Amino acid sequence: MSKDYLDGASGRNMKFKKETLLNYAMNRWGLNKAASVGATSELIRSCSPDTYKEWEDYYFFTATQKKKNGAKITREYLDELGQKLYMKLSEVVQKEIETISEEECIDYVYNLVLNRTYEGYRTEIETIYGQLQKALGIEIKPAPDIWDRKYSVDFYIELKGKNIGLQIKPVSSGEAASRYKWEDINKTNHEKFKRDFGGNVFYVFSVKQSEKKTIANAEIIQEIKDEIRRIGELRQ
């Protein structure tokens, strides 16, 4: 009997026409987690099957829910899991879809594209700000909004009545090599900052590596320390 919800499936790894929706519900309610269906990745490596049938038999013989007092997994249990998935989609998700308005969708798009991108950008800058402050051992202050527009400066260090400017720029991996391009773009503003406040402006490049944000041009820390020393040695 053909199943119209399958999308040109061949072999055992079937493709479902509404797979995105099915996958969303499975993830949302944790129906595919080890606590529900067992540690499938670990189990199949332990089994090292040569055929699908070998894996299927091993799974139902061995698998248990990976949690305290976890139940043994049977075919009947997977049937119940599928029934639960259907209930969540047909009752909960269906009701939620009915209450979504066009205005909510429009607001969501703007929030996702603009607000969350901006918040992620600011979080990255603030993370680097903390690393930099720890490395320098001196207080770093957020620059007034007008400084961003007038001097292209995000943060500053105040020392003996003078200020050192800092601009933190998140970049993709390898882009930090374009440091001189960014310095050239804001050269006039940074020269104006030095003329008005006595200290140089330094670019600090932030890059994300393995989910951790780090300072890409780490040598800048020593350059900033040298500038702090230079200003510290100036006579009042």
Contact 55, 27 (CB under 8 A): no
Count of other CB atoms within 10 angstroms of residue 166? 25
- Bigger pLDDT: 168 vs 106: 106
Cα gap 228→222, rounded to integer Å: 10
59 pLDDT more than 90? yes
Whether the predicted pLDDT of 128 surpasses 90: no
Above 60 in pLDDT, residue 157? yes
Task: Write out the two tokens for 31.
Answer: 């129906």
pLDDT tens across 73-82, in order? 999 999 999 9
| Distance of alpha carbon 172 from alpha carbon 27, whole angstroms | 30
CB 169 within 8 A of CB 182: yes
Domains of the chain: 19-99 (no CATH), 116-232 (3.40.1350)
Helix, strand and coil in the chain, % to nearest 5: 55, 15, 30
* Across 136-163, average pLDDT: 90
> What pLDDT, on a 0 to 100 scale, did the predictor assign at position 17?
83
Q: How confident is the model at residue 23 (pLDDT cuts 50, 70, 90)?
A: very high
In 71-211, the DSSP E strands lie at 141-142, 155-159, 162-170, 198-209
